[in-house]
Amino acid sequence: MADEKDKQAKPTKSVKRPKKALFVIMCILSVLVVAVTLVVGIVVSPYFDLVTTFTTKPDMASTEVRQASQATSDITEEVEAEGVTLLKNENDALPLSGVTKVNVFGSTAGNNFSYGGTGSGAGDTSKNVTFYQGLEDAGLSANPNLEQFYEENATAAKDMGIVGTDWNLYELPQSSYTQDVIDDAKTYSDTAIVVLTRKGGEGFDLPTDMAAYEGSEAGRSYLELSPNEEDLLAMVEGNFDRVIVVLNSPNAMELGFVDAPQVDAALWVGTPGATGCDAIGKVLTGAVNPSGRTVDTFPYEAESAPSYYNFGAHDYTNVQHTNQSLFAGSGDVTSGTENVHFVDYAEGIYVGYRYYETAAADGYIDYDATVQYPFGYGLSYTTFDEKIADFSDDGTTITMTVDVTNTGDVAGKDVVEAYYSAPYTPGGIEKSAVVLAGFDKTKLLEPGETQTLKISWTHEDMASYDYTGVKAPGGAYVLEAGDYQVSLRRNSHDVVDTRTVTIDRDYIYNDANDGARSTDGVAATNQFDDVSFGGGVTYLSRADWAGTFPTMAPAEKEAPAEIKDALDNPAPVENPNVDDVTYGAKNGLTLADMTGLSYDDPQWDKLLDQMTLNEQKMLVSNGGWMTFSAKSVGKPAIVECDGPNGVNNIMASYNGTQLTGQSVLGYTWNKELAQRVGELFAQEATALKVGGLYAPGADTHRSPFGGRNYEYVSEDGLLTGEIVAAEVRGIQSQGVYCYVKHFALNDQETHRGDAGGLVTWANEQSMREIYLRPFELAVKDGGAMAMMSSYNRLGATPTAESHALLTQVLRNEWGFRGSVVTDCVLAADTSNINRALHAGNDLYLAFLQDKMLTSDTLDTAAGHQALRNACHNILYTEANSSSTFTVGMFGQSPLITAVEVVLAAIIVLLATYFVRRHMKMKRWRAQQ
């Protein structure tokens, strides 16, 4: 009884009512958490691949990365060693035999030295071998007092960010060079090395007039010496016995000053990348014998080139475009409305040496007074004898066998160049007096050693494209009857020996006559009449040099009514009546199962049937520096990145080795070396977890003022194409795919991506023989499986929307199988994704472009077919690239996982709070 009394007497613990304020706060917090969870789950989760690829970085200190980077560093020095071009060498000024001390003049030899360019081809220069370090590594001592003088007085170039170039010229005025500085230098050494630097980069072309920039003056271009540089040279020439000029520039400069007798030697070194300065030092000392050859013609005056007069900024005043990109206003692309811009390729086929050699042959120019260094020119520390040892023509293929003998005293390499001259009839198909037919480079030949090289090309390779219908109505490649002079030359101008090939009749490569060329899937016929004739351009012709030579294009003019209408009213998206596609099938296939299967294998249809519409939509429209995963087919997310001069992952902020500029690789004239560069480039990309590269660059040095000439090989389609094809073979041999860029006629930076794309007018002969030729060789000889379309328009049609370019020429004629990505369209709406998909552009280098897909694509059978075809092309490229399955990311970023864990933890805590509050509330009510 006592126990019961005690129990009854014990007071019951009071339960307080839960606080309402806390409950309200927790309810609000719950709503917010649910909202965030829904946003993450519904809105953000489809884009998790973006976060994954841009937050997952490789281990830069790993053995794999370090070994791959060392290999690319080594070959970068090798490329520079073969690319350095000796332009002048009087009185045996080079090599610097017995010289150990040198004076280095020029304010750009230090911090302002150019190793590459800006934009996609940029790289991390912080660990590069400097010019001074390269001299030291080669055993040369640079005057330390002079070096310190520049460190204390020279102005550093401005950092222009990812895109852009500081065009100011910072050479010091002569007033800065006190007599003490000069006397000290004269005491130190009688050898002076003068470094002159020019730069290039994405987004802007080199200034044709320096009025708006420091360090020069109105009336001088960026490619001419500044007054301070002229004064520097005069001072050096007057005080030192041996004067050597080192030209650190990616673009062909006006070099008349090199002819001065006081200048003993001149070296063209281009942009040497991470380790190329070691090669420059070795060339100066003679440890390496220079074997580079020019990739451009060097005229005394840039104005002598017909392309000079149609380059840069030219506007249609009566056609405007409003940038409606999701990211308009970011980067170097403007937002708002502006005039549409245009450029006329009025020079036709007469680009570079094709103009200078032909105009000279016809007596229109004095060659020696106009051209300083021909295309394909370069000296050596030794001498070579070249002779045609054998020559054959089997009716299809021409073979020139050349014996090359080192007749000098030191080992060296030689370049063998073969050219042809086709018969020309005034008023007929335009022909260059000289065209490069083939080339090769010897091994390192010891004194007295001979090597035999064979250069072959076909009759078809000598055919000209007849776009006006002189011989072939509707256009075709035509090999005209007559005698073709075939020559062995030291360069485009200097003949060693010749042979004659006689073509018995006209061969017209179309279906009505001799059929397609053997390398074409279907016969090439006119696809670009709108581009050839739509701009009203008068093209330069041998039939009337003076009457057709271009004049300066107006800065502004009105577009004719038909052009204005085409630009203002693009054709609607096509919607033909086709069968719809299958989605979501369960066929049990994965992307890995497709490796090695032909493009037309029936298994592809089964695999594509498995994909969902949403997967296809997300894959094609979010291709910025990556491709999305697709779970239905076991496709991982793949990192893709820039650029032509080494891995440059802009979005994830890491770089590989900075390679030499692509033009330096061209200066080597070495296809075997280009292929090895590609192999090692790809190995480093794989080590850095990159599966696809936006490289190599295959556009043309149409003008020496091209801002991205450092990213491109040369002024010649064959040289560019052979080097690029070799590099592509090397890259793809290691399982990495590469987008050859920019397809096509993206040969200037000025307004290239503004106002809906630069309107480009060119005739189809020049397009096919010069500007498309490198891409053609990359496909046919290099086996390229990916392309990047360009910002510009061909006539009124954006290249990404050009069915003629991307389907008829690229795929049907050339037999290309693979994927096409746009150039970066984050901030520039240079094309419409819906029209582009129908034209054959598969992938958009941007994010969130799925928001730009319309019902024309998403709700029609024709649109579904276009999406499916694009996915087929993308998956075909990746299935045949082993990197897809070695560096592809099937999981998600730890960052995303962490966000999900945090959200889950908050939800658990909130749930716990509400459960406990409910129980407490229940007890409180019970005691009331």
User: pLDDT at position 56, please?
Assistant: 80
Q: Report how far Cα 914 is from the mean position of its chain's Cα atoms.
A: 59
CB atoms within 10 A of CB 586: 8
Question: Above 60 in pLDDT, residue 622?
Answer: yes
User: pLDDT at position 7, please?
Assistant: 47
Using pLDDT thresholds of 50, 70 and 90, give the confidence band for residue 921.
confident
Q: Are 150 and 195 in contact (CB under 8 A)?
A: no
List the alpha helices (DSSP H) in 497-612: 529-533, 545-548, 561-568, 603-610
Q: Count of residues for the chain?
A: 928
Q: Which helix (H) or strand (E) holds 81?
A: helix 63-83
Residue that is written with structure tokens 């606080």 in the block: 19
d(CA 88, CA 864): 61
Which of 755, 753, 763, 749 shows the shortest CA–CA distance to 697? 749
Lowest-confidence segment of 550-554, 868-872, 889-893 by average pLDDT? 889-893
pLDDT in tens, 531-542: 999 999 999 999
Percent of the chain past pLDDT 70, that is, above it, reads: 95
Using pLDDT thresholds of 50, 70 and 90, give the confidence band for residue 300.
very high
Q: Are 464 and 478 in contact (CB under 8 A)?
A: yes
Q: Report the predicted TM-score, pTM, of the whole model to 2 decimal places.
A: 0.93
pLDDT in tens, 466-494: 999 999 999 999 999 999 999 999 999 99
User: pLDDT at position 2, please?
Assistant: 45
How confident is the model over 695-716, as a mean pLDDT? 98
pLDDT in tens, 32-48: 877 776 666 656 667 77
Residue that is written with structure tokens 């039939």 in the block: 543
User: pLDDT at position 30, please?
Assistant: 74
pLDDT in tens, 133-187: 999 999 999 999 999 999 999 998 888 777 889 999 999 999 999 999 999 999 9
User: pLDDT at position 13, please?
Assistant: 64
Q: Are 616 and 900 in contact (CB under 8 A)?
A: no
How confident is the model over 672-691, as a mean pLDDT? 97
pLDDT in tens, 404-458: 999 999 999 999 999 999 999 999 999 999 999 999 999 999 999 999 999 999 9
In the sheet that holds 464-466, the strands lie side by side as 464-466, 476-479, 507-509
* Secondary structure (3-state) at 386: strand
d(CA 7, CA 577): 88
For the chain, the first-to-last Cα distance in angstroms comes to 29
d(CA 510, CA 527): 13
Q: Report how far Cα 180 is from the mean position of its chain's Cα atoms.
A: 47
Can you read off the two tokens belonging to residue 405? 């003998």
User: pLDDT at position 330, please?
Assistant: 57
Using pLDDT thresholds of 50, 70 and 90, give the confidence band for residue 919.
confident
In the sheet that holds 397-406, the strands lie side by side as 384-393, 397-406, 450-458
Question: Above 60 in pLDDT, residue 659?
Answer: yes
Percent of the chain past pLDDT 90, that is, above it, reads: 82
Pairing between strand 476-479 and 507-509?
A: antiparallel
Phi and psi at residue 552, to the nearest 5°: -60, 125
pLDDT in tens, 834-864: 999 999 999 999 988 888 899 999 999 999 9
Identify which has the larger pLDDT, 24 or 229.
229
Using pLDDT thresholds of 50, 70 and 90, give the confidence band for residue 5.
very low
